[in-house]
Structure 1
């Protein structure tokens, strides 16, 4: 059990230092161990939602925007 723990610790160190590590069984790649940040990036979890993106925009309440009281003109599309 102690040897397995040591090898697992070395695997985690290699992931952090060298990137993704492939796990093989009988010479065939069966799994890959990724850094958590890379895993989340691949899932898209590190991207902000559209709502959060809009909320990070500038504060527009400071702008002095005036709107005309004149009704819009009528347009005949015939």
Structure 2
């Protein structure tokens, strides 16, 4: 059983179950989408890709220090308006 006709990277749950080894093998190079009821449900990626996407690349302080907005003249004063009335 091959991936669905939408693309070589998309599988139905049934076809992914039947060919799990192939899904895993293909996910080593290209993310594989598994659909449920015709809608994308999950994406299978290699462990290497997952680690690359989820690993921390520094601290929040480092991120803020490297921001292109650092030193920009931003108006950061908080508005002192009364809260909105949310009752109907």
TM-score by length of 1: 0.46
Whichever structure has more helix as a proportion of its residues is 1
Bigger relative contact order (CA 8 A; separation at least 6): 2
Larger Rg computed on CA atoms: 1
